[in-house]
Amino acid sequence: MEKFDGKGGNLKWKCNFCHVIKSGSYTRVRAHLLKIEGEGIGPCNGVTSVNLAEFHRLVEEERLTTEQNKRKKVPLPPPSPTKNKCRREDSSQSNPIIKAFNVGAQDQLHSEIARMFYSGGLPFNLARNPYYVSSYTYAANNSIPGYIPPGYNLLRTKLLQRERANIERLLEPIKGTWKEKGLTIASDGWSDSQRRPLINFMALLSVAETRFANVILRRFKLIKQHLQSMVISSQWNAHREEVGASFVRETLLDEKWWDKVDYILSFTAPIYDMLRECDTDRPTLHLIYDMWDSMIHKVKCAIYKHEGKSLDDEIEFYNVVHKILVDRWNKNNTPLHCLAHALNPRYYSDKWLEEDINRVPPHRDEEVTNERKKCLKRYLIDPMERTKANVEYAKFSTKEGPFSDVDSIEDRWNMDPHSWWVIHGTSASTLQTIALKILTQPSSSSCCERNWSTYSFIHSLKRNKMTPQRAEDLVFVHSNLRLLSRRSPQYCSGETKMWDIAGDQFGSLEDVGMLEVANLSLDEPELEVVVFTDDGDVEGINSEVEVTEVGSS
């Protein structure tokens, strides 16, 4: 058919089969070609039976396609029913509150967002992501008519490259401090048959259920009353004939067993405290040596107090515990720990030394002195430069020369070590350079190990065809976005608090609720004393049992 008028609606047209000029809309064109009577237009004499069969086939295909598309697009849940829809619409238009907040549109958008989560298997923890929140906030505050979200290709190419460049720019201030503060490189300790280190792959064991047994016992103690109420309830009686149920009931109701739990918590609390301090990305390298000595002393006091013995007596159990702790220290101790300890001004202050009669300043400790010299020998290869550093250290440790200033001596106790060296260490340039680097380093690689699984999360079995460069860009953006967000104040408060806890190991709804709690670090103890409900609410445990808080700082 050929139209003689460019406008829509009724128009004149010429049939290519019968070559007759007629007028009308699409309905008459369809009736003319399909020879449908009663539509105000005669049938086409030029359409053969073969043409008519082909026309009917095309019409049927179009009908089936339309119905199939309707079935694919499931309608959203209807709004809550009301007795009078018309009256509701009239009142909503006149209600200033409903008009201002556009409640109907918000409900519709909520349903659309929820459908995206459900259909894509997205973890519910994603709703706490600040970037998820900011994206919709920006769209709501900036009217963009006809906006279509970025598609598959745009997300994995142009936008990914742009975000990497943006992250590189945001990291520049941090990289600018590397020359002065230094940085820690975490690599795997594997080596090949020729003793060459391998740093292109890393292996980690899965987290066991009893990774932190102390935390489990503390949890038992906190919910003691709830556990005991559970085993004496009528629901528990239905399983009383089972051997396991009977054992659990007898154990939880046995006060002697709870006394043993208290005892274990008392002498493991100092160990737990130290692990908490070390298992972070905060600079604690200079605190390890003193923390270890203090931890062993606290463990000894807890055991001897329980046994009712004086500290001069011999207790076989403590000897076993002490040997385990000392062996672990000998295995992990490095000259760098001793050098960091020796460069901490606090350990030369009178207030610190007076806290314990057995304390001595680092320059009078034989082990610290030997390890310090060993570390400086490896750090400063030039003998002249090493001699200069030793002379500077002598003045620093004995508070002579420029370090004899009253403010310098007072600030050794009042100021953090890094700030002290920035303010009072300019006269010892070599030692200051070393101190500013060592005193800003973490003492554990745990903060790095948690990010080692990022590549396996990005380059999973389902994405094994991803190019190496794209996978590298995704890992870079994914890791650094999380690290940068932790520097913002919103990370520690509000609805997006600790939003990035968990989520890497599971990319779908599977086990998300369990993972949000199971993957916690030792430096997040405030989440140990809360209960996560099915509704996502957080409830505290109200217990009358007095519990000694472990690891408070």
Q: Which residues contact 93 (CB under 8 A, 6 or more apart)?
A: 99
Cβ(252)–Cβ(228) under 8 Å? Answer: yes
Q: Is residue 289 part of a domain?
A: yes
Give the CB-side neighbour count of residue 281, counting CA atoms within 13 A: 12
Asked if the structure places residue 51 within a domain, the reply is yes
* Last residue of one domain, picked from the residues 39, 72, 105: 72
Q: Which residue has the tokens 């006269």?
A: 427
440 CB-near residues (< 8 Å, 6+ apart): 181, 182, 283, 418
In this structure, the number of other CB atoms found within 10 A of the CB of residue 123 comes to 21
Return the H-helix or E-strand segment holding 34.
helix 26-34
| Cα-based angle 489, 492, 497 (whole degrees, multiple of 5) | 115
256: tokens are 């002697």
Average pLDDT of span 439-454: 69
pTM recorded for the entire structure: 0.60
d(CA 179, CA 93): 63
Residues in CB range of 352: below 8 A, 6 or more apart:
346, 359, 413
Q: Tell me, letter by letter, the H, E, C secondary structure of 350-402.
A: HHHHHCCCCCCCHHHCHHHHHHHHHHHHHHCCCHHHHHHHHHHHHHHHHCCHH
Look up residue 136 and give its two tokens. 């919709």
- Euclidean distance between CA atoms 344 and 338, whole angstroms: 10
Report the candidate in 443, 515, 522, 457 with the shortest Cα–Cα distance to residue 204: 457
What's the rounded Cα separation, in Å, for the pair 293 and 138? Answer: 53
pLDDT category of residue 68 using cuts at 50, 70 and 90: low
Kind plus residue range of the DSSP H or E element containing 472? helix 468-485
Q: Are 478 and 496 in contact (CB under 8 A)?
A: no
Lowest-confidence segment of 117-131, 191-205, 222-236, 494-508 by average pLDDT: 191-205
Count of alpha carbons within 13 Å of 304, Cβ hemisphere only? 15
361 — pLDDT class (breaks 50, 70, 90): very high
CA 460 to chain centroid, in Å, comes to 19
487 pLDDT more than 50:
yes
pLDDT tens digit string along 79-136? Answer: 554 444 444 544 545 555 555 556 778 888 889 889 888 888 888 878 888 888 888 8
pLDDT of residue 423: 93
Looking at 89-93, 445-449, 492-496, which range is the least confident one?
89-93
Give the closest residue to 62 by CA, choosing from 104, 30, 99.
Answer: 30
6 pLDDT higher than 60: no
**With 80 as the cut, is the pLDDT of residue 495 above it?**
no
Highest mean pLDDT among 97-106, 228-237, 411-420 belongs to 411-420
Q: Answer yes or no: are the C-beta atoms of 507 and 457 closer than 8 Å.
A: yes
Gap between the Cα atoms of 527 and 212, Å rounded: 14
* pLDDT top residue among 446 and 21: 21
Q: Is the dihedral of CA 417, 419, 423, 425 positive or negative?
A: positive
Do the beta carbons of residue 262 and residue 287 sit within 8 Å?
no
**Average pLDDT rounded to a whole number, residues 485-509:** 63
Query: Distance between CA 448 and CA 121 in Å, rounded?
Result: 28
DSSP 77: P
Does residue 335 belong to any structural domain of this protein? yes
Give me 252's structure tokens.
């939880």
Query: Exposed, middle or buried, 447 (CB in 10 Å: 0-12/13-18/19+)?
Result: middle
Q: What is the spatial distance between Cα 299 and Cα 198, in angstroms, rounded to a whole number?
A: 39
Of 117 and 503, the one with more pLDDT: 117
Phi-psi region of 194 (alpha: psi -120 to 50; beta: other; left: phi over 0): alpha
| Domain with 318 in it | 213-446
Among residues 24, 46, 72, the one where a domain terminates is 72
Band (510; pLDDT cuts 50, 70, 90): very low
Q: Averaged over 522-544, what is the pLDDT? A: 44
What is the dihedral angle through the alpha carbons of 75, 80, 83, 88, rounded to the nearest 10 degrees? -90
Query: Among 1-5, 61-65, 245-249, 314-318, which is the least confidently predicted range?
Result: 1-5
- Residue 192 confidence (pLDDT): 56
Q: Classify burial at 26, counting beta carbons within 10 Å of its beta carbon; exposed 0-12, middle 13-18, buried 19 or more.
A: exposed
* Beta carbons of 250 and 227 less than 8 angstroms apart: no
Determine the length of the chain.
553
Q: Could you tell me if residue 418 is inside a domain?
A: yes
Contacts of 321 by beta carbon, 8 Å cutoff, 6+ apart: 267, 299, 303
Evaluate whether 343 touches 435 at the Cβ level (below 8 Å). Answer: yes
Q: 447 pLDDT band (50/70/90 cuts)?
A: low
Residue 355 lies in a domain: yes
Query: Is the model more confident about 433 or about 104?
Result: 433
Count Cα atoms within 13 angstroms, Cβ side, for 348.
26
Distance in angstroms between the alpha carbons of the first and the last residue of the chain? 85
Domains: count for the chain: 2
In sequence order, what DSSP letters do the residues of 261-301 get, joined into one string? HHHHHHHHHHHHHHHHHHSSSS--GGGHHHHHHHHHHHHHH
Is the per-residue pLDDT at 376 higher than 70? yes
Average pLDDT, integer, range 456-478:
70
Whether residue 218 contacts residue 549, with contact meaning beta carbons closer than 8 Å, is answered with no
In sequence order, what are the residues at sequence separation of 6 or more whose Cβ sits closer than 8 angstroms to the Cβ of residue 182? 436, 437, 438, 440, 441
CA angle, residues 496, 531, 215, in degrees to nearest 5? 100
313-327, 450-464, 539-553 — most confident range: 313-327
How many CA atoms lie less than 13 Å away from 496 in the CB half-sphere? 15
pLDDT in tens, 249-297: 889 999 999 999 999 999 999 998 888 888 777 888 899 999 998 999 9
The mean pLDDT value of the chain amounts to 77
Domain boundary residue, one of 421, 446, 471: 446
Residue 530 lies in a domain: no
Return the minimum-mean-pLDDT range out of 92-101, 133-142, 187-196: 92-101
Dihedral over Cα of 217, 220, 224, 230: its sign: negative
Per-residue pLDDT band for 462 (boundaries 50, 70, 90) equals low
Q: 512 falls in which pLDDT band (50, 70, 90)? A: very low
Q: What is the dihedral of CA 424, 429, 433, 434, to 10 degrees?
A: -90
Answer yes or no: is 441 within a domain. yes
Domain contains 280: yes
